[in-house]
Amino acid sequence: MSKILPLFPLQLVAFPNEKLNLHIFEERYRQLIRECGETGMHFGIPTFMDKQLQSFGTEMELVSIEKTHLDGKMDIRTRGIRIFRIEEFFEQAPDKLYAGGKVTYLSNTQDGDIVKSQQIIEAIEELYEIMNINKDIPNVADFDTFSMGHHVGFTMEQEYEMLQIAIESGRQEFMLAHLKKLIPIVRQMEDLRKRVQMNGHFKDVIPPL
């Protein structure tokens, strides 16, 4: 079943349950946010990538308008709800300044495997240790791939690819394969960085014979 959804294209990938803070400055999107605040309606953030609007995005809920500036610009908090696909795009929704589209929603099967979740968490911990990153990681009971989608070194293209995977087990496989490929590269780059830093330092050299 399709529905008409106001659309706010951005050069990013928004995930379900993601908390996204935005600064709104264009009048057409200020109109959109005012209407969301007045009526409780949702809007969609489809990904704009490679100089074109992509078909998939995430429906967003306006959580709060944190500040309205004197010039009308807004600072807002939003939260991702569910994934949609654009069936038909309108540069302007009927009688509005902002864009809209006829969309259908993707199912999201929560069939994640706890063992895979633990493997992903351990891989992320290893990655963060190599890179000296101090960042909280969800425990295995609370783990969801979307919650870490922006924190495992994906490119925007990879984030968008994961957005389209409609089952958690598939997203787990996608993320784990990425981490297994990324970690040896990062480790090699970190070893190179350390060697470069040591260049010119006095070294303890032990003869091999």
What is the Cα–Cα distance from 84 to 14, expressed in whole angstroms? 11
Calculate Rg over the CA atoms of the chain.
22
Q: Are the C-beta atoms of 84 and 5 separated by less than 8 Å?
A: yes
The SS3 of residue 206 is coil
Per domain, the residue ranges of the chain are: 3-105, 114-198
The pLDDT of residue 144: 95
CA 183 to chain CA centroid, Å, is: 20
CA 188 to chain CA centroid, Å, is: 26
What is the Cα–Cα distance from 5 to 88, expressed in whole angstroms? 10
Q: What is the pTM of this model?
A: 0.89
Question: Which neighbouring-strand residues pair with 154?
Answer: none
- Model confidence pLDDT, tens digit, residues 4-23: 999 999 999 999 999 999 99
The pLDDT of residue 201: 54
- Model confidence pLDDT, tens digit, residues 111-131: 999 999 999 999 999 999 999
The pLDDT of residue 43: 98
- Cα separation values, 209 from 12, 202, 203, Å: 57, 21, 18
- pLDDT band for position 74 (cuts 50, 70, 90): very high
Whether domain 3-105 has CATH 2.30.130.40: the reply is yes
